Chain A
Amino acid sequence: MTDDRPMVRAEGVCKSFGSHQVLRGIDLKVQPREVMCIIGPSGSGKSTFLRCINHLDKVSAGRLYVDGELVGYREHGGKLHELRESEVARRRRDIGMVFQRFNLFPHRTAAENVMEAPMAVRGDSRADARQQATELLTRVGLGDKLDSYPSALSGGQQQRVAIARALAMRPKLMLFDEPTSALDPELVGDVLAVMRQLAEEGMTMVVVTHEMGFAREVGDSLVFMDEGVVVETGKPRDVITNPAHQRTQTFLSKVL
């Protein structure tokens, strides 16, 4: 992996659902080891942009590259070819995603949730997968919850299992879609601590969040999106303390 090549590169990315245009030309670069936080009012398109990065939503116009590879398509002879399902799946392995509503598999224990993809996708043996799951769950502070079902865990614990599950595929990029928005306030800290630790270990992360404290302290860059466009981007401290645009000021005055 060359260090000068951005991990994520978006060039004029647009996304429409029917006649409703959600993204109107996004240009962004995320460098390796960078933690980018995206903030903005609801409906601004920040979650949609995140979902485009691993092709859960299909880009309607523009180009989106992850680690130099075009997302969802192959460019060949000046034409775009849709990727086959297996190729999309192969590229998604390298991108971990954490959802607002956790989306843990309820019929699997915490350890089995983490073991699922390594066994099904990578073909790891049960013993290897179990060992890796034990390590990862210990890392997120849940070494004693290996055999608990998600329904027996708190929201914060479930989200940490979800992070461990995403890490199990050893991704080079992690996407967080409002990872603490569905949590009770006293449980937010544990999840953010795990994310901070991950950032310190050098993981490339794109985080859609409302946690301004996290954005300021952990983020390398902060992006403010509104109505499908990037309004402002810069160092978190600069954007938060000295926003250049009126819209950013208005939004920040509401959330801070």
Chain B
Amino acid sequence: MSTAVDQGADRAESITAVPVRHPGRWVASLVLLVLAAMLVKALLTNPRFNWPLVGQYLFSAPVLQGLRNTLILTALAMATGIVGGLVLAVMRLSANPILSYVAAGYIWFFRGTPVITQLVFWFNLGLLFPTLGLGIPFGPEFVTFTTNTLITPFAACLLGLGLNEAAYMAEIVRSGINSVDTGQAEAAGALGMSRSQTLRRIVLPQAMRVIIPPTGNETISMLKTTSLVVVIGYFELQTAVQSIFSKNYQPAPLLIVAALWYLVLTSVLSVGQMYLERHYGRGTTRPGDDTGRGGFGGFGGRLWRTRTGDGR
């Protein structure tokens, strides 16, 4: 599209007009710059932020250990959520009313209760069910476990975060599947593809374009939600810094340490999301097209809009 406009510009005499002035924008920019400068000065010159201590703890062993556990927990909880969400979404869209209602009931329950409640509940499962067994329903049990040995703090975290996430992912996947034109499934069916082949090879790859941006959101949100497991004492980034500042009484620099790491990880995830979106957007965007959707593309979209605004 842009090339056609360029060619037109070559042929005709290009317009040189005095652009519209925007004094309001200049004033607003000036005010923001002054405020930003004040903030930077406050951050750097206030000794109570204790930046040397931030540097000292940023790469310390307990912080790195906590960071590692945060990453593992985020990855596994999201994996549980995505797989569970996919299964629930397919159940929800099933023609079988039992499957559909069970999925709806699950989503209703897990979205309707706070995740912190669920975490504490899983951690204390032993109070309700002292033992868990495998066997025939309403019949004999073959193996029996003590709940407290099976549900470690880590397992409780994973169950609490993963099962809760599955409910949210189910809705995301469902909206993605619904966004794909029904003609696609018909065309696949007319070619002799089975329903599961159609789902895997035709519908889901196209649904991904709709599924990925909110899933990126969920992953970033999950990264920070893992800090809630402080309540059941699992050792991750937030627990690590809390245990340090409870001893040295320096909460501010240690919370900055945690915040810096969360920011770094979120930035890395955002870049990863951009590449995933580009991969699944193939066929829908032409080379060199800026769709202005998500990630850095969204930034570009905003810039472009400002520029046309100036041109008018």
Contact = CB atoms under 8 A, between A and B. Distances in A.
Q: Do A and B make up one complex? A: yes
Interface in B187-245: 187-195, 197, 201-202, 205-206
A74 B109 CA distance: 44
Contact of A92 (B181, B184, B191): B191
Given A105-B202, A106-B284, A120-B201, A85 B186 contact: no
B278 interface: no
Interface stretch (A65-73, A148-156, A192-200): A148-156
Interface residues of B, number: 23
Nearest to B182: A103
Interface stretch (A4-12, A94-102, A236-244): A94-102
Interface string A102-128: 011111110000001100110000000
Contact of A108 (B193, B197, B283): B283
A19 to B, nearest CB: 21
Nearest to B191: A117
B282 interface: yes
Contacts of B193: 89, 116-117, 120-121
Contacts of A15: none
B191 A106 contact: no
A171 to B, nearest CB: 9
B183 A99 contact: yes
A165 B191 CA distance: 8
Nearest to B192: A93
B190 A90 contact: no
Contacts of A92: 189-192
Contacts of A117: 188, 191-193
A149 B283 contact: yes
B275 to A, nearest CB: 16
Nearest to A106: B283
B206 to A, nearest CB: 6
Interface residues of A, number: 32
A158 B186 CA distance: 17
B282 A107 contact: yes
Nearest to A94: B192
A210 B31 CA distance: 66
B286 interface: yes
Given A86-B194, A89-B194, A121-B193, A107 B186 contact: no
A83 interface: no
A103 B188 CA distance: 9
B201 A116 contact: yes
A147 to B, nearest CB: 11
Nearest to A119: B201
Contacts of A101: 183
A221 interface: no
Interface string A159-184: 00010011001000000000000000
Interface of B: 181, 183-184, 186-195, 197, 201-202, 205-206, 280, 282-284, 286
Interface of A: 54, 56, 85-86, 89-90, 92-93, 95-97, 99, 101, 103-109, 116-117, 120-121, 149-152, 162, 165-166, 169
26 contacts: A54-B190, A85-B195, A89-B193, A89-B194, A90-B192, A92-B191, A92-B192, A93-B191, A97-B190, A99-B183, A99-B187, A103-B184, A103-B187, A109-B283, A117-B193, A120-B197, A121-B191, A121-B193, A121-B197, A149-B282, A151-B283, A151-B286, A152-B286, A162-B187, A165-B191, A166-B190
Q: Which 9 A-B pairs have the closest CB atoms?
A: A93-B192, A103-B187, A117-B191, A97-B190, A103-B183, A149-B283, A107-B283, A106-B283, A92-B192
